[in-house]
């Protein structure tokens, strides 16, 4: 080696058994020394190599345990276990499941509904740890239960059964006993029910054959159709079906005015009870109608009908017996 400095460097590496390459890049010794002693304040890190004393780039940080291709980092969060919860409503403890309306509320701040179903038997939902309130409605019966799902819940599946202690009424109303069911307005009223005020209306419906799911006790059933109203009291027992029947002792009639064998349009009907012993007809009608074919449901008895046609009133008496279903024509001149 011709350069004294290079000979000195080679002498330093010789005891270590390292050879110094004799072929060097063509640069001056001064340039090499200048690069090695550059001012740290102006030095720039080589791309991909972390700067001394600086933060370690994310690409140089150790991957989380288990990480690999296709692994999505969760920031260290532990997966939250979820429980498969089946809701089951029964009328009695030994009874079968019944379809009910469900609502499950997470009791947080604020509370929020996490599940709802209008009419379903044994719905299943998935819940994470927390406190909840299950609300179930079965007809006019409601129940509320609170429960908690623990973070270390031992069972991934659970059935939560709610005993409603409910009974069922299926009433029928007819003109007389054995007659087909009539359409009308049903009203269920509290007669004697624990923790309920007597006289309170529970539910109303115009269904021809309604079904009422009720808490145990006694209820007054009121039925109205046409010009007839009747009531009965029925007892509701847990898990039992009761079918009360109301016989109205009424007639179902249709009035039609005819001229020349053809029904008249644009008429007006008034119906009165027939007075006894030649007394005058009452001023206020029992019922009125502007239909060409006027239908009335009346208690069995005697009546007077008046019809206004072409600016003139026509009158006709008639009688009906309970259970009658017929059309009554008024022949006009």
93: tokens are: 């403890």
Give the predicted TM-score (pTM) of the model.
0.70
Q: What is the pLDDT of residue 55?
A: 45
Q: What is the pLDDT of residue 12?
A: 55
Q: What is the pLDDT of residue 43?
A: 39
Q: What is the pLDDT of residue 157?
A: 86
235: tokens are: 């007892």
Q: What is the pLDDT of residue 30?
A: 35
Strand order in the sheet with 287-289: 287-289, 268-273, 301-309, 312-320
Q: What DSSP element (H or E) covers 306?
A: strand 301-309
190: tokens are: 């509290």
Average pLDDT, 10 consecutive residues per value, the chain (333 residues):
54 50 39 35 40 42 40 47 88 94 94 93 92 96 92 81 96 95 97 95 95 98 96 96 96 95 94 82 88 96 94 94 96 92
């Amino acid at each position: 080696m011709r350069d004294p400095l290079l000979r000195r460097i080679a002498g330093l590496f010789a005891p270590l058994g390292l050879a110094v390459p004799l072929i060097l890049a063509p640069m001056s010794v001064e340039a090499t020394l200048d690069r090695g002693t550059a001012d740290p304040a102006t030095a720039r890190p080589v791309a991909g190599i972390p700067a001394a004393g600086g933060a370690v780039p994310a690409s140089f940080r150790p991957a989380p345990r288990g990480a690999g291709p296709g692994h999505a980092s969760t920031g260290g969060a532990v997966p939250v276990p979820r429980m498969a919860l089946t809701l089951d409503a029964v009328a009695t403890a030994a009874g079968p499941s019944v379809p009910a309306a469900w609502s499950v509320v997470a009791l947080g701040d604020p509370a929020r509904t996490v599940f709802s179903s209008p009419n379903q038997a044994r719905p299943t939902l998935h819940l994470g740890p927390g406190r909840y309130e299950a609300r179930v409605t079965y007809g006019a019966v409601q129940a509320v239960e609170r429960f908690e799902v623990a973070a270390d819940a031992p069972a991934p599946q659970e059935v939560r059964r709610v005993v409603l202690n409910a009974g069922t009424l299926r009433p029928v109303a007819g003109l007389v006993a054995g007659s087909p069911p009539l359409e009308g307005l049903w009203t269920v009223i509290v007669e004697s029910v624990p923790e309920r005020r007597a006289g309170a209306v529970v539910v109303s419906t115009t269904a021809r054959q309604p079904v009422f799911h009720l808490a145990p006790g006694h209820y007054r059933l009121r039925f109205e159709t046409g010009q007839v109203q009747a009531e009965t009291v029925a007892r509701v027992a847990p898990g039992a079906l009761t079918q009360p029947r109301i016989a109205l002792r009424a007639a179902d009639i249709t009035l039609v005015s005819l001229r020349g064998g053809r029904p008249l349009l644009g008429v007006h009907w008034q119906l009165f009870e027939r007075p006894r012993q030649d007394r005058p007809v009452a001023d206020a009608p029992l019922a009125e109608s502007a239909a060409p074919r006027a239908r009335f449901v009346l208690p069995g008895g005697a009546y007077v009908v008046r019809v206004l046609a072409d600016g003139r009133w026509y009158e006709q008496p008639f009688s009906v017996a309970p259970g009658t279903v017929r059309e009554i024509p008024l022949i006009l001149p």
